[in-house]
Amino acid sequence: MTVMIGRRRSTAAALATIGAFALLVGACGKAEETGGTGTDNAAAAQQTASAGPGGGTCTLQQYGGQKIDLKTAKVGFSQSEKEANPFRTAETKSIQDEAAKLGITNLTVTNADSKFNKQIADVEQMIDQGVQLLVVAPLNSDGWDPVFKKAAAKKIPIITIDRKINAKHCTDFLTFIGSDFYEQGKRAARSMAKALDNKGTVAILLGAPGNNVTTQRTAGFKDEIAKIAPNIKIDFEQTGNFSREEGQKVAEQLLQSKPGISGVYAENDEMALGAVTALKGAGRKAGDVKIVSIDGTRGAVQGIVDGWIYGVVESNPRFGPLAFQTATKFFAGETVNENIIISDREYDQATAKDGLAVAY
């Protein structure tokens, strides 16, 4: 009898310890140089490619908002994931730097730490605090009803960056600024086709589910492979949730179950770097399995230089300048497009070394 009670108590103690750990463990960062986020570097800045096909336009009058001066305005930025991966680090820094440059002193930044409910609460709270412009990097494309309801009542323009929100343009949100993810997928497919000489088997490390980035990077890649390299077979698809650890785990399983795989398409650099670690762990040589990924982080571009990664399609996270330019135009009464699509670079063996200067 006493044994039973004792066991229960020690379980409870263990639980308490685990709980305490879980609360703190997330705080650990990675010691990796992410290098110059280069917002002062003109070459690294985002360039607009097009107004995005099929989108409408919006003006201050249509939106029904009020003319404000950005400098004295309250601006809110909601980041979706913690700044543990270079894309998020560079993105947040770009918003902060540009705000500082423009003399915007009243910028609130929140971070949802990959918890969707927290992001909704964060944004709602910023609206309560009276922000007049919202820049949101959404974690998920759906589920924004409570935010729209609140923002619409106060006519607060919302600019979404890097991921889209599924909603009514010019009613629920002002504009989306981001890459053409479908095109990124296609470019990655072309790079893969070149790497494999149009034959072999390829695995896809999918991004996190539930957002347009993953869907379109997958569709673009598959469509282009089917079109230009029908002899390449996509043999394996599993999500690595855009994280290095999970990418590594999935790649390890992949190397166990399909040791003959010839290429890996990682939907972001973090997962690609995870796959590199898995390959090293399995005793494989650089270039043995061709890896193509998307983002253009310093680590991945260095991976090309070192021979572990074949090619990287960039997804430029420096949204600050373009986001505030767009807001300035909007408040000045000019027309703003529904989709503002940026142009992305590409790194391969020939360009990687020089590319390190603009990689983030």
In the complex, which residues of this chain contact another protein (CB under 8 A)? Answer: 1, 4-5, 8-9, 11-12, 15-16, 19-20, 22-24, 26-27, 29, 82-84, 107-111, 113-118, 120-122, 124-130, 139-146, 149, 208-210, 214-215, 239
- In the block, tokens 């947040």 appear at 92
> Minimum distance from CB of 164 to another protein (Å)?
13
Q: Which is nearer to another protein, 145 or 197 (CB)?
A: 145
C-alpha to C-alpha distance for 292 and 309, rounded to whole angstroms:
6
With both helix axes pointing from N to C terminus, report the angle between 244-257 and 269-281 in degrees, rounded to the nearest 10.
50
Is residue 103 packed enough to be buried (19+ CB in 10 Å), middle (13-18) or exposed (0-12)?
Answer: exposed
What are the helix (H) ranges across the chain? 2-25, 60-63, 86-102, 116-128, 145-154, 181-196, 212-228, 244-257, 269-281, 298-306, 320-331, 352-355
**Residue placing its CB nearer to another protein in the complex, 55 or 210:** 210
Place of tokens 């991976």: 303
Specify the DSSP element, H or E, that contains 178: strand 175-179
CB of 249 to another protein, least distance (A): 15
Beta-bridge partner residues of 177: 161, 340
Residue whose CB is less far from another protein, 176 or 347: 176
| Pair 78, 119: CB distance under 8 Å | yes
C-beta of residue 136 within 8 angstroms of C-beta of residue 161: yes
- Minimum CB–partner distance for residue 202 and another protein (Å): 18
* Least gap, CB of 45 to another protein (angstroms): 23
Our CB check for another protein shows the closer of 111 and 297 to be 111
In the complex with another protein, the residue whose CB is nearer, 144 or 330, is 144
CB of 193 to another protein, least distance (A): 25
* Gap between the Cα atoms of 37 and 97, Å rounded: 10
Cβ 238 to another protein, closest distance in Å?
9
Cβ distance to another protein smaller for residue 147 or 275:
147
